[in-house]
Amino acid sequence: MASQYYELTEEQRIFQDMINEFAVKELGPLVEEAEAKGETPTELFKTMGEMGFLCPRYPVEMGGGGGDKIMECILVEQLTRVCAGFAGAVVAHSGLGTMPIHQFGSDEQKERFLLPAIKGEKIAAFGLTEPNVGSDTASLQTKALRDGDNYVINGSKMFITNGPIADYVIVAAYTQPEKRGWGINLFIVEKGTPGYSVSQKLDKVGQHSAETGELVFEDCVVPADNLIGGEEGGGFQQLEDTLVSGRITYGARCLGTGQAAYDLTSDYARQRTQFGKPISKFQSISFKLAEMAMHLDIMRSYTWRTAHLYDQGVDVKMEASMVKLFCSETVQKILSEAMHIHGGYGYMMEYDIQRHWRDGRVFTVTEGTSEVQRMVIARELGL
């Protein structure tokens, strides 16, 4: 493992300030209603697109921010500090729902789907997980079989962020079922395509403002031109490349939730008085807060370091899984301590800490469970 410390550039610090201001002023006032209704404030997609915030890593000439992976991590952390649900919707769009097209798509696909998505004119989703398939991606049951100039897709996808609101979804399906793993391809399926439907919008414990659904494909006919990569096979590698990037981003998601929890808890501990003094003055509480701050600093340093190496073209498959594993597990400890310090008030819906606690619980599950990350790390170590 290469070791390299990373410090933000002036450009990245300016971007950090701009995103923080946007999250507080533009997103903040919408959170309560979005969470109560279980709806994503989709109007912010276009606003962010116009500002170059929605897809900060893509070139300026495509409508993106012209930045790097660290800037994407900054974006995600700052949005998540205010609202993990909306941040999740943005991540599904700007990462999973667009990256395969940017990296492997044809010029026509980029023109029809990627450019409008970068501008916030189209909302993207990514369909990988199925009702019976989660960690074992190679066991996908969705199939896309060639029929002349088209492919006919049959199957279903579960827990798809942005599914109910997406203008298109990138669907993983087998074109060659006899070739386990390697016979997978990615397809772009547009909203309104006959045979494609959102069978249900899912009711979740947390991240209510990230609309999540089950997608069904019943003899869904899509043009062969919608196959990403232009030929059958190779989708498994495309998935792997996309997921490595996503796992680094997850470090930033965990950071945002953890930082929000620390900020709320630190303020509460200074204000809450027991036995004649603020509870922050009790060693048992101050030590907990100190450890939370330490963990956040380690999470941020390692996430940025790995993002920097990723930008340099270094193979960070193992490091990306380490980021995902360490940050998602560590934020559970931070959230647990934050809830405990808040005492009975933490369990009340009027206190925001309970929202972050609920929102953060899923981080050890999505985009590869902690067990899967351990498997990847062990394999990369040659164990």
The pLDDT assigned to 5 comes to 52
Could you say which of 3.20.20.70, 1.20.140.10, 3.30.56.10, 3.40.50.300 is the CATH number of the domain covering 243-380? 1.20.140.10
The pLDDT assigned to 3 comes to 40
Averaged pLDDT, 307-330: 97
Domain residue extents for the chain:
10-118, 124-235, 243-380
Contact predicate 351/342, CB 8 Å: yes
Q: pTM for the whole thing?
A: 0.94
Question: What is the fold of 10-118?
Answer: Butyryl-Coa Dehydrogenase, subunit A; domain 1 (1.10.540)
Architecture (CATH level 2) of domain 124-235: Beta Barrel (2.40)
The pLDDT assigned to 1 comes to 36
**Strand 168-174 relative to strand 184-190, pairing:** antiparallel
Assess whether the region 10-118 and the region 243-380 belong to the same CATH fold.
no
Averaged pLDDT, 323-337: 98
Averaged pLDDT, 36-63: 95
Averaged pLDDT, 240-263: 95
Q: Is the pLDDT of residue 165 over 90?
A: yes
Gap between the terminal Cα atoms of the chain: 15
Give the single-character DSSP code of 95.
I
- Judged by average pLDDT, the poorest of 43-57, 230-244, 316-330 is 230-244
The per-residue pLDDT for range 67-99, each reduced to its tens digit, is 999 999 999 999 999 999 999 999 999 999 999
d(CA 136, CA 142): 13
The per-residue pLDDT for range 227-240, each reduced to its tens digit, is 999 999 888 888 88
The pLDDT assigned to 50 comes to 94
Contact predicate 128/141, CB 8 Å: no
Q: What are the φ and ψ backbone dihedral angles of 316, each rounded to 5 degrees?
A: -115, 35
Told to judge if 367 belongs to the known catalytic residues of this protein, a careful annotator would answer yes
The pLDDT assigned to 212 comes to 98
How is residue 177 written in tokens?
A: 């079922």
Q: Catalytic one among 231, 367, 371, 380?
A: 367
Query: Residues of the chain with pLDDT > 70: what percent?
Result: 98
Query: What's the number of CA atoms in the CB half-sphere (13 Å) around residue 257?
Result: 33
